[in-house]
Amino acid sequence: MKVLILGATGLLGKALVRVWTGDEVLAMGSRDANICDSSKVREIVGRVRPDWVVLAAAYTDVDGCESNRERAFSVNRDGAVNVAQAARQVGSKLIFLSSDYVFDGKKTSPYEVDDMRNPQSVYGHTKAEAEVKLLEILPNCCIARTSWVYGVGGKCFPDTILRLAANRPALDVVNDQRGCPTYTVDLSRAIIQLCRKDASGIAHVTNTGDCSWFDFAREIIAGAGLTIEVRPVSSQEMARPAPRPAYSVLSPMSLRRYSIEMPGWKDALRRYLEERKS
């Protein structure tokens, strides 16, 4: 199988490149393949003619998207459309990374793949609109929604918590947003399996179990052997430019259709901390 990874220098892209073995993999970052440049994308995909294109390139600064709306849509929606059109021209399959932010967070039970999209942030809107357009262009594409992604080699929540813990006597972390932390290594392995199983449609891909950001932070601090106090606060007390869904737990049922099981989030965090230390 020949695979083209777009967004190879991002947090997930780096993990995909490290983890993916046994196939012919060509990895490109934004400098090599700017997905906003439709002619460049067509040239690259036409030259490589991959069996699968993995689209991990995105503008993922959720708060930044609020003040850079044009850029957010240009990359996350229009860039994805460019890749889908190029893939269609050469008959490549496409797997697109989407987000729990396509939902409004008003449910109290895990979101299924056919639950209604109702994004509340610019970032969420870019991903939701991309999903709709990609399914029109490539009805057999695979959309992998994930959430709370972290890993080594870039900015992420655990890295931020550990960096702040080195300089502060206590940390305030929101306790009224609930979701599924997802380790890039486990996410990468699931993506590889989805490609090898010729997946199509929408799949929810996260580590199993759920927690609040406060729970996550406490587990990070404890796992790192630190004793700093972590204090729960409300989202109102920690206001951010972009609204976050209060509940965005994604159901694993769609992934189990492919006999793919993800490790628990605490086990994943333990392995991340070991990888980060080494």
Which residues are known to be catalytic? Answer: 123
SS3 172: strand
Closest CA to 156 of 60, 19, 264: 60
Query: Which backbone phi and psi does 179 adopt, to 5 degrees?
Result: -160, -165
DSSP string computed for 25-82: EEEE-TTT--TT-HHHHHHHHHHH--SEEEE------HHHHHH-HHHHHIIIIIIHHH
Burial annotation 148-173 (CB, 10 A radius, 16+ → b, else e) = bbbbbbbebbbbebbeebeeeeebbb
Query: Residue 22, Cβ neighbours under 10 Å: how many?
Result: 8
Residue type, 27: A
Eight-class DSSP state of 264: B
**Cβ atoms of 81 and 42 closer than 8 Å:** no
The tokens for 246 are: 């209060």
Closest C-alpha among 275, 247, 204, 251 to residue 105: 247
Cβ–Cβ < 8 Å for 204, 250:
yes
